[in-house]
Each structure stands twice: as structure tokens, then as C-alpha cells.
């Protein structure tokens, strides 16, 4: 990097050569996109319909030609899988997509992720969903402008998410929907909950992460997901009563408090009994500091146990004392390990694997895996270090982790490998970010607080999810079919204890 006399880098100011190179590169990308579009149009002219699979993801196509293509989708069918992700589309394109969904009878999978659609698009997509009978998969993830109007002159005076939810409630064909990283707030989440209660068909919906829903809404939405089992697909539940979750949560809280009081009572009773035991005098040659009623503190032989760990001086160290001696970096690592160990974290990774394993092969290739990591990094790691500019995907860290976790060295990851890879990759990024903070002499306190907060949110989500599943089983009644392959005896109702 060259510097001028004042020590300021000249790379910050683009030269004429750099500007010209950027223009040439842009022209090349547009030419590539237009060439692909021309080939699709010629195919439709020759065969009367488009190919079954059309993938325009990431292509740089000017607005006029791409909208002409979208307009043609209204009358020319053939397309079953349509990928329009990462194309810089806005509400102007949303108008044509909405019209195509109303008229087109062949599109079953549509990817609109990572664009610039606003609430106006959400509103008109809702209108299309209310009449569409063929669309089964819709990816709207990573469209943060869905909640702020977007970038089109059409204007928006309606609640787009509410209109979208209304259309979703009328639609009966959609089986899979991704709305993660769309910035949907709690009010929008309530509209989605009400819409899915109205629907008679189950929906595999992803509304996390990247939104601002309550834990209750996240878990209620999760209860509408499709459950695979018994060799087929059945709805987890037909309806879900939100009040049932609250009732169950109250019951769980009361039960936990009762158990806590009972444990405290038993501890006091045991302590009183121990004090009442006669203290025998130590035998000759026996250490008087130890007796049957006062066992040595180092009785445990488990290394690292908070109650049994000893220093060289024989002083007992508690877990709190260990934490007090931790550096901020050690606290970050410990907090991350605790978060990664949660069942809900593992469940979130599993849902992400199913989401990005588009072909359902049970293996995630490098391209799918990098997209998954970019999404997780954007929603989790970047939130911890807003001032650190991390690349969308750390290629060096990806390659390093792949060598460790790609056991068969075929460039793909199974679910187990993916989960281990994710922990390693995201954990490595968090450590990198923390190191950057330390270099800049910034406090890691806010970072630790955010990790602890997310951990508590995941813990709450796990508890609420279990309550929701339990309530769903009770409310399901005859709608839930027993597993014919189960070897377990049917559960019998518990008898009330005799007074």
C-alpha cells in the first residue's frame, strides 16, 4: 500500500484506471446475464415454454430486460424451479413477480432471497398467494426492507406483512417458507401466527434468526412445521391455542418452584441430622481436622469439580473464584461453549441444515455450506462485533475447518459434520472478533453480555418449545396418529395420589 507525504493511503481514492476497470467488469457481468436471458427466451420461442429449472441467482441483469422476462412468465409456463436470489430486485420487480404467480400454473419453487423487496412487495405477494395453487416452496429470507417500504416509487400505506399473512392464511399449497433475516417485528409475528392458525395445511416455516419476534411467537410458528414420521408427512397440529402455551409455562414454573422448596427442605433436614450426630474423638495418630461428620473437602476425585478442586495451599476454590480469575477472552470462550452446548442451538443448526440442503441428499456441498455460514455469521457473529468488518464468509477459516470435519474428503458434510463444522467456524470467528477488540483496546464486556443474552433466549426457547410440543400432543387428540412401529406401550393416565 502506497502512502503520500502525509501518510494517508492513496488506495482509499479510486484512480481513473480503477474506475474504468470497475465499469468494464460491470459491463462484462451484465453481458453474461443478458446472454443467459437471451438463451432462455430463445428456448421459450422454440418450445413454447421455459426450461423446468431457471437459475438466475447473482446475475447482474438490468431492470428492463429482467422485468420483460418476468412479464413473459405470466403466459409462458414450463418453469417449476425459479431462482431469482441476489439480483438486487426491488418493489418494481415485485409487481411483475406477483402478477406471474397469479397467472403461472407451473412454478412450484421460488427463491427471492437476498434482494431489496419492501413492504409493498410483501403486500402484493400476499394477494398472489391467496389465489395461487401450485407454489410449494418460497424463500423470502434476507430481505430486510420488507418492513420499511423498500426502494420503489409505488409507495406503501398498508401493513405489508399483515397483507402477506392474510394471503398466506388463504393459501393451501405452500409447504415451505423462509422469512429469516427479514426484520419482522412482534406485531408482524402475531399476524403470521393468526394466519397459520387459519390454514388447514401444515407449513415448514423458518422465522428465525434475524427477526424481532417474541420467544412465544417463534415456538408457536415452529409448531406448524411439518413433522416427518411413520413413513409419511403429517401436520404436527391443525390448530394451536396460544393460551395453552402460557398455561403450560405457568404449570412448569409452579412445578419448578415446588421442587426447589422441597429440595431446600430436605437439605436443611439433612444438615440438622448431621449436626445431631455425636462427634467422636480422633484416634491417636489421626488428623484431628478430619472426622466422619466432617469429611475432607477433597473427597471428590473428579478433576475440575467446583467443590473439590484444591490449590497448592489446600484452600478450596469455588466456581465463582475461578470465574473471577478469568480473562475477558476466557469468559468469551466459556460463554460461547455454553451456548453451543444447548439443545436449542443444536436444533437450530439442524433446521439450517435441512433448509440449505435443497436437494434433500443429506449432504451439504461447499456452496450450500458457505451460504449457510454467511447467514449464521450475519445473524449471530456480526451482531457481537458491529464495529469489526468481517468478510461475508471467511474462506481461510472455512478451508481449515473443512480439512478437519470433511471425514470422507468428498467436499460435502453430513448433518453431524455440519454441526461440528458450524461450532468450529462460528467459534473461530467470535474469537477473531474478540482479538480485534483487544487489539483496539475495546472492552469485551458488551460482547459477553450479548452472548449470555442469546444463551438465555435459547434456553427459554427450548423450555417453551417442549411445553408447546407437550400441549400439541394433548390437544391433537385423534388428529395425531400413533406410530405403528413403536414398541412402547401406550401411556396410561396417571392416578391421582390418595389423600
Per-residue pLDDT tens digits for 77-96: 888 999 999 888 999 999 99
The SS3 call for residue 15 is coil
Neighbours of 233 (CB within 10 A): 12
* Domain residue ranges of the chain, discontinuous segments joined by +: 28-213, 328-475
Instruction: Please tell me the predicted confidence (pLDDT) of residue 110.
Output: 94
User: What does the pLDDT look like over 252-295, one tens digit per residue?
Assistant: 778 888 888 888 888 887 777 676 665 544 445 444 444 444 44
Instruction: Please tell me the predicted confidence (pLDDT) of residue 93.
Output: 92
Lowest mean pLDDT among 173-182, 268-277, 279-288, 365-374: 279-288
Angstrom distance (rounded) from CA 405 to CA 427: 15
Give the pLDDT mean for 125-130. Answer: 92
Is residue 371 over pLDDT 50?
Answer: yes
62: Cβ contacts below 8 Å, ≥ 6 apart: 30, 34
Residue 3 φ/ψ, nearest 5 degrees? -135, 150
The number of residues in the chain equals 499
Is residue 14 over pLDDT 60?
Answer: no
Model confidence band, residue 499 (pLDDT cutoffs 50, 70, 90): very low
Is residue 128 over pLDDT 90?
Answer: yes
Strands 109-111 vs 81-83: parallel, antiparallel or unpaired: parallel
More confident site: 49 or 408? 49
pTM of the model: 0.47
Instruction: Please tell me the predicted confidence (pLDDT) of residue 480.
Output: 41
More confident site: 158 or 257? 257
The SS3 call for residue 450 is helix
Average pLDDT over the chain reads 73
More confident site: 155 or 185? 185
325 CB burial (10 A radius; 0-12, 13-18, 19+): exposed
User: What does the pLDDT look like over 25-48, one tens digit per residue?
Assistant: 666 667 787 888 888 888 778 887
Q: Contact at 8 Å (CB) between 422 and 376?
A: yes
112 CB burial (10 A radius; 0-12, 13-18, 19+): buried
The SS3 call for residue 288 is coil
What's the CATH number of domain 28-213, 3.40.109.10, 3.80.10.10, 1.10.10.10, 3.30.70.20? 3.80.10.10
Give me the CATH code for the 328-475 domain, please: 1.10.238.10
Q: How far apart are the first and last CA of the chain?
A: 84
Amino acid at each position: 500500500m502506497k502512502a503520500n507525504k502525509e501518510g494517508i493511503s492513496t488506495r482509499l481514492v479510486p484512480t481513473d484506471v480503477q474506475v474504468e476497470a470497475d465499469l468494464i467488469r460491470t459491463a462484462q457481468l451484465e453481458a453474461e446475464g443478458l446472454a443467459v436471458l437471451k438463451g432462455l427466451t430463445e428456448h421459450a420461442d422454440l418450445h413454447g415454454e421455459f426450461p423446468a429449472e431457471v437459475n438466475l441467482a447473482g446475475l447482474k441483469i438490468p431492470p428492463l430486460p429482467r422485468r420483460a422476462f418476468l412479464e413473459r412468465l405470466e403466459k409462458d409456463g414450463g418453469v417449476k424451479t425459479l431462482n431469482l436470489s441476489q439480483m438486487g430486485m426491488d418493489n418494481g420487480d415485485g409487481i411483475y413477480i406477483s402478477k406471474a404467480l397469479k397467472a403461472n400454473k407451473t412454478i412450484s419453487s421460488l427463491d427471492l432471497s437476498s434482494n431489496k423487496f419492501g413492504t409493498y412487495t410483501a403486500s402484493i405477494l400476499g394477494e398472489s398467494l391467496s389465489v395461487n395453487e401450485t407454489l410449494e416452496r418460497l424463500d423470502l429470507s434476507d430481505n430486510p426492507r420488507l418492513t420499511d417500504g423498500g426502494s420503489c416509487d409505488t409507495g406503501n400505506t398498508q401493513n405489508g406483512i399483515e397483507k402477506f399473512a392474510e394471503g398466506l392464511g388463504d393459501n393451501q399449497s405452500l409447504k415451505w417458507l423462509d422469512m429469516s433475516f427479514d426484520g419482522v417485528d412482534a406485531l408482524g409475528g402475531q399476524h403470521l401466527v393468526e394466519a397459520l392458525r387459519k390454514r388447514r395445511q401444515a407449513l415448514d416455516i423458518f422465522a428465525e434468526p434475524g427477526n424481532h419476534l417474541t420467544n412465544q411467537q417463534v415456538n408457536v410458528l415452529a409448531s406448524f412445521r411439518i413433522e416427518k414420521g411413520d413413513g409419511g408427512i403429517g401436520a404436527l397440529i391443525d390448530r394451536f391455542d396460544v393460551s395453552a402455551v402460557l398455561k403450560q409455562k405457568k404449570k412448569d414454573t409452579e412445578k419448578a418452584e415446588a421442587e426447589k422448596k422441597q429440595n431446600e427442605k430436605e437439605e436443611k433436614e439433612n444438615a440438622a441430622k448431621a449436626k445431631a450426630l455425636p462427634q467422636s474423638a480422633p484416634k491417636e495418630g489421626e488428623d484431628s481436622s478430619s472426622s466422619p461428620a466432617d469429611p475432607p473437602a477433597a473427597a471428590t476425585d473428579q478433576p475440575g469439580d467446583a467443590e473439590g478442586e484444591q490449590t497448592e495451599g489446600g484452600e478450596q476454590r469455588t466456581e465463582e473464584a475461578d470465574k473471577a480469575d478469568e480473562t475477558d477472552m476466557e469468559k468469551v470462550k466459556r460463554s460461547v461453549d455454553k451456548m453451543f452446548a444447548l439443545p436449542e442451538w443444536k436444533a437450530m443448526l439442524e433446521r439450517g441444515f435441512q433448509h440449505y440442503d435443497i436437494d434433500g441428499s443429506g449432504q451439504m456441498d461447499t456452496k450450500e455450506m458457505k451460504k449457510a455460514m454467511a447467514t449464521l455469521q450475519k445473524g449471530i457473529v456480526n451482531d457481537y462485533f458491529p464495529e469489526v468488518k468481517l468478510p461475508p464468509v471467511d474462506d481461510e477459516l472455512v478451508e481449515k475447518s473443512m480439512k478437519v470435519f470433511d471425514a470422507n474428503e468428498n467436499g460435502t458434510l453430513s448433518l453431524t459434520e455440519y454441526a461440528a463444522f458450524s461450532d468450529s467456524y462460528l467459534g473461530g470467528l467470535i474469537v477473531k472478533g474478540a482479538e480485534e477488540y483487544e487489539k483496539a483496546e475495546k472492552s469485551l464486556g458488551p460482547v459477553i453480555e450479548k452472548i449470555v443474552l442469546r444463551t438465555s433466549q435459547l434456553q427459554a426457547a427450548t423450555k417453551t418449545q417442549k411445553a408447546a410440543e407437550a400441549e400439541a400432543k394433548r390437544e391433537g387428540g385423534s388428529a395425531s396418529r400413533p406410530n405403528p412401529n413403536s414398541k412402547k406401550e401406550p401411556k396410561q393416565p396417571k392416578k391421582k395420589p390418595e389423600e
